[in-house]
Chains A and B, each alone.
Chain A
Amino acid sequence: MRAHGSVTEPPAAHSADHLCWVHDDDEPFGDAVRAFLAGGLVRGERLLCVGDRAIAALEDPSGSLGDVAALLAGGALETMTVAEVSAAAGALGADPQRAFYDAATRRALDDGYRGLRVVAEVTELAADPGLIEELVRWEHAADEFIASGSGMSAMCAYRGDLPPATLGAVLAVHPLRHGPDQLSPFRLFFDDDRLVLTGSVDTFSADRLATLLAGTPAGNTALLDLSGLEFIDVAGCRALAGWAGELQARCVPLEVRGASPLLQRVWHILGLHDVAPVTFTDPRG
């Protein structure tokens, strides 16, 4: 399975890393940015630094990234401000952002790199109440793009003084997280062909789950893995059933893998099979 869970420092670099980093002090944040990027250098990936705070972390007297100027000059490292990415992508939306990072990743692969490793400090987007919903949609879509074997990895950084609900929303859509765990009781991320839901969903977080599911990119089939789900209540089940109904309207069948016997019993008691048909399968598929 893809690397996931709560971390205190950037884990060893793998393909398809997607790490949410909530930070307060500049110094440890700088260390984390450099550690994440250094892992990409070792793997032979091109590095892309987005956002002023991420770019500032490159100025490192200890030289842990080697000769930054040479990396920049040679094209192994690129930097862009958030405004520059927005201008290049055209808009903050899941589709234009995906197109932008898709092109950047292909360029890196064409140039002989093993992939593209991005650090994006996007607090300024998250702080804008008019943008946060679209940003979370994009983060969720980005996770699907990263998990799909595109060659991209990313560390998405947010300042810890953002509103708790904002931090909870962005933390929830990353498989790897560094931040207050209680802000995101559940996590929704992709792994190969599966959408994975872990943690706890109750009536106070079910609306957020429903919104995320509604924005989930889906192909001709959908597979939701609940093997790592600790708890879900009625409102959470209804969020899942609502999504199953939306998928059914698009003729996409939903397979739910690894649901607990209790969840399946609740599903039956609530009559959710009548809302949308779902196929329950065991954890091994």
Chain B
Amino acid sequence: MTPPAAFATAPAGFEHEALFYRDDETFLAGVLPFVRDGLTRGEQVVVAEPPGRLELLRDAVGAAAPVRWLDMAALGGNPARIIGAWRTVLDETTAAGRGLRGVGEPAWPGRRDAEYAECRLHELLLNTAFDDGPAWRLLCPYDQTHLPRAVRTGALQSHPLVSTHEHRRPSTAFSRESAAATFATPLHQPSEGVLRGIYGAGDARATRRTVVTFARSCGLSAEQAQALELAASELVANSVRHGGGSGTVAMWRTDEAAIVEFSDGGHISDPLVGRRVPPPEQVSGRGLHLVNELCDLVQLRSCPRGTTVRITTWR
């Protein structure tokens, strides 16, 4: 048995650990020592938790402690935004010559299945994104009392290390290949009625308008419809420029969401596309990044047979 997270020595590389807790007490017992140890070492400590847990932890740590508190509900509403945020923090702390340790809970209880699916892919891709970079530690709390079994099992597969407030061990279920495999696995097809259309090079404007009309018919706000219009523009352009010249737009609605999906025959080999902030001078790769920032939930999957970007907007 290895000691719990807080008392481990400084990591050699990226250390990605799932912390399973049962209640507030075991949450604090697992996270507090990790945070305090980071502060003692002079590391930059960043905590990204949903509001309730954020307050619980802040009260326990003390408001005066030099911790950066991030609202995970805002940052991680679309989990594809989180890696970019960690990347920015890591670059800043590395440039300042400091260590970094983070706490991130993207898969909090009460999220929808599609969100949990993206949380799992996000957790897998964290390893892809940071494994070859500077050393830092990320502790990801999982509520083992309230989360669905599949989410808990997914956490075992996406984290090389798993722990409770008492124990810490390597995860036997973890596999480095899972990230690429999950990214290449098609999304579940909808059971609802789907509106479908094909677009080509000259159809960008018409496709934007179709999407806006659909968004309004679903009762989305003007702001939500505009974000989808912009997303449509970027994704149609991607299909035309990189996806074989044409694509398909599919639209359907559920009780809680309006969903717009763009598919084409192109293949994206880098699963981190859209999750990193492109440097200002870089022209390509901005569309997906912007879509990730603007939209409620974005699901990107790609394999040699084609690419799909599914955008969910909560009603």
Residues of A within 8 A of B (CB): 182, 185, 200, 202-204, 231, 233-235, 238, 260-262, 265-266, 269-272, 274-275
Contacts and interface: CB of A to CB of B under 8 A. Distances in A.
B237 A204 contact: yes
Contacts of A203: 204, 233-234, 237, 241
Contacts of A261: 223
Nearest to B231: A233
B282 to A, nearest CB: 10
Contacts of A233: 230, 233-234, 237, 287
A231 B233 contact: yes
Contacts of B229: 231
A209 to B, nearest CB: 14
Contacts of A202: 204-205, 208, 233, 237
Given A234-B286, A266-B230, 12 more contacts: A185-B205, A202-B208, A203-B237, A231-B230, A231-B233, A234-B290, A238-B286, A262-B230, A262-B294, A266-B294, A269-B290, A275-B280
9 contacts: A202-B204, A203-B204, A204-B201, A231-B229, A231-B230, A235-B237, A261-B223, A266-B230, A275-B280
Nearest to B291: A234
B277 interface: yes
A202 B237 CA distance: 9
Chain B contact-residue range equals 20 to 34
A108 to B, nearest CB: 42
A109 B304 CA distance: 69
Nearest to A261: B223
A272 B280 contact: yes
A262 B204 contact: no
B107 interface: no
Q: Determine chain B's interface SS by DSSP, over half rule.
A: helix
Contacts, number: 55
B105 interface: no
B226 A262 contact: yes
B293 interface: yes
Interface in B273-290: 277, 280, 283, 286-287, 289-290
B205 A269 contact: no
Q: Please provide the 7 A-B residue pairs with the shortest distance between their CB atoms, ordered closest to farther.
A: A203-B237, A233-B233, A269-B293, A262-B226, A234-B286, A202-B233, A271-B280
Central interface residue in B241, B277, B283, B290, by most chain A CB within 10 Å: B290
A233 B227 CA distance: 10
B208 A231 contact: yes
A185 B230 CA distance: 16
Nearest to A272: B280
Contact of B204 (A204, A238, A266, A271): A204
Contacts of B227: 262
Contacts of A266: 230, 290, 294
B233 A262 contact: no
B121 to A, nearest CB: 22
Contacts of B204: 202-204
Contacts of A200: 205
Contacts of B277: 271
Contact of A265 (B208, B283, B294): B294
B223 to A, nearest CB: 7
Nearest to B226: A262
Contacts of B293: 269
A275 B280 CA distance: 7
A173 to B, nearest CB: 20
A278 to B, nearest CB: 14
B243 to A, nearest CB: 13
Contacts of A272: 280
Contacts of B208: 202, 231
Interface in B105-125: none
A203 B205 CA distance: 11
A168 to B, nearest CB: 13
A176 to B, nearest CB: 22
Contacts of B233: 202-203, 231, 233
Nearest to B201: A204
A241 to B, nearest CB: 9
Contacts of A262: 223, 226-227, 230, 294
B294 A269 contact: yes
B208 to A, nearest CB: 7
Nearest to B281: A275
Contacts of B223: 261-262
Contact of A260 (B201, B226, B237): B226
Nearest to A201: B233
A182 B209 CA distance: 14
Interface in B207-245: 208, 223, 226-227, 229-230, 233-234, 237, 241
A200 B206 CA distance: 12
A193 B226 CA distance: 29
Nearest to A262: B226
A234 B205 contact: no
A265 B227 CA distance: 11
Nearest to B277: A271
A235 B283 CA distance: 8
Given A185-B205, A202-B237, A233-B234, A274 B280 contact: yes
A238 B278 CA distance: 13
Nearest to B230: A233
